[in-house]
């Protein structure tokens, strides 16, 4: 049975190639064996080189790939990320899918590193969210880790997070927590979303494991941190930007969840260049 990653790669290649790469099929010299380099065109954090390598190898098992960087490594413009050798047509058939996925993973890792660096060694942990393109969750969350961040729950199955609609349906925080504990006991971590100090107090009294301060004004958040006094972790969430990290660090929350890491990070600009005798002979991939 094929892995989820291989299934994703095969679907992506099929979407891009269709019946044939008609451009490359028309160029006779592209039947030859060639070498190529995948190169960073801007600074960033590397993530997913093994995924890119797998894309080339699924396209054609004659393609050989040499990975030139470590996961989480910071690279600069012009650094070589991968070296690829094999049939030129096959390399071009995998090029765009490999660069798209690699660029996206590196982009998420790079954005995460900016938030982690802004928080500093004594600041809050930077968390991702579930705001991720469907079927991309494993890759996106791995990229967050490569950037020095941490993963929130993976899905609806591995942690209880009582959000506004759950609380409305249950009739409040206390009732919702009671029902969850009755069903699962202490099997899962239970977190509750709160919007003011009264809800924080109720959540703490209900015996939750963690409290989310959702879109809470700074002064209200400050009061919550003082009231909870490290008895459970506090997670700040909602419209978090890089500029807000210092004030959230100063307030003293334990974690900050940032949806933008996985839904708004710009891709790292990466190109594939054919080489001959160590001299670049062909174009940077543009389309």
Residue 148 φ/ψ region, left for φ over 0, alpha for ψ in the -120 to 50 degree band, beta for the rest: left
Active site residue 131: yes
Active site residue 214: yes
Active site residue 163: yes
| SS3 (DSSP) at 269 | coil
Per the residue annotation, which of 128, 191, 193, 255 is the catalytic one? 193
d(CA 212, CA 248): 13
d(CA 191, CA 235): 9
Per the residue annotation, which of 37, 96, 113, 210 is the catalytic one? 96
Per the residue annotation, which of 41, 118, 125, 131 is the catalytic one? 131
**DSSP H or E segment with residue 96:** helix 88-119
Active site residue 193: yes
d(CA 143, CA 141): 5
Contact (CB, 8 A) for 240 and 257: yes
Per the residue annotation, which of 2, 163, 226, 283 is the catalytic one? 163
Active site residue 118: no
Per the residue annotation, which of 95, 214, 235, 255 is the catalytic one? 214
Q: How many CB atoms lie within 10 A of CB 193?
A: 22
Residue 231 φ/ψ region, left for φ over 0, alpha for ψ in the -120 to 50 degree band, beta for the rest: alpha
Contact (CB, 8 A) for 38 and 102: yes
Active site residues: 96, 131, 163, 193, 214
């Amino acid at each position: 049975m094929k892995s989820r990653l291989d299934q994703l790669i095969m679907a992506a290649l099929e979407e891009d190639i269709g019946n044939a790469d008609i451009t490359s099929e028309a160029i006779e010299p592209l039947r030859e064996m060639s070498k190529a380099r995948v190169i960073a065109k801007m600074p960033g954090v590397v993530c997913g080189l093994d995924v890119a390598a797998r894309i080339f190898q699924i396209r054609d098992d004659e393609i050989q790939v040499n990975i030139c960087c470590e996961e989480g490594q910071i690279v600069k413009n012009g650094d070589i990320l991968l070296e690829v050798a094999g049939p030129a047509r096959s390399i071009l058939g995998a090029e765009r899918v490999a660069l798209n996925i690699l660029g996206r993973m590196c982009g998420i890792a790079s954005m995460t590193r900016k938030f982690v660096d802004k928080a500093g060694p004594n600041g809050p942990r930077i968390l991702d969210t579930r705001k991720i393109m469907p079927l991309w969750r494993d890759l996106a969350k791995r990229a967050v880790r490569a950037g020095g961040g941490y993963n929130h729950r993976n899905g609806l199955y591995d942690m209880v997070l009582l959000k506004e609609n759950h609380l409305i349906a249950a009739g409040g925080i206390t009732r919702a927590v009671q029902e969850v504990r009755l069903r699962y006991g202490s099997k899962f971590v239970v977190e509750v979303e709160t919007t003011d100090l009264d809800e924080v107090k109720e959540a703490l009294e209900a015996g939750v494991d963690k409290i989310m301060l959702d879109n809470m004004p700074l002064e209200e958040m400050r009061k919550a941190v003082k009231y909870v006094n490290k008895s459970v972790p506090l997670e700040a969430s909602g419209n978090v930007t890089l500029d807000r990290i210092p004030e959230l660090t100063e307030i003293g929350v334990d974690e900050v969840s940032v949806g933008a890491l996985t839904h708004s990070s710009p891709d790292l600009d990466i190109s594939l260049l054919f080489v001959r005798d160590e001299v670049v002979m062909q174009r940077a991939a543009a389309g």
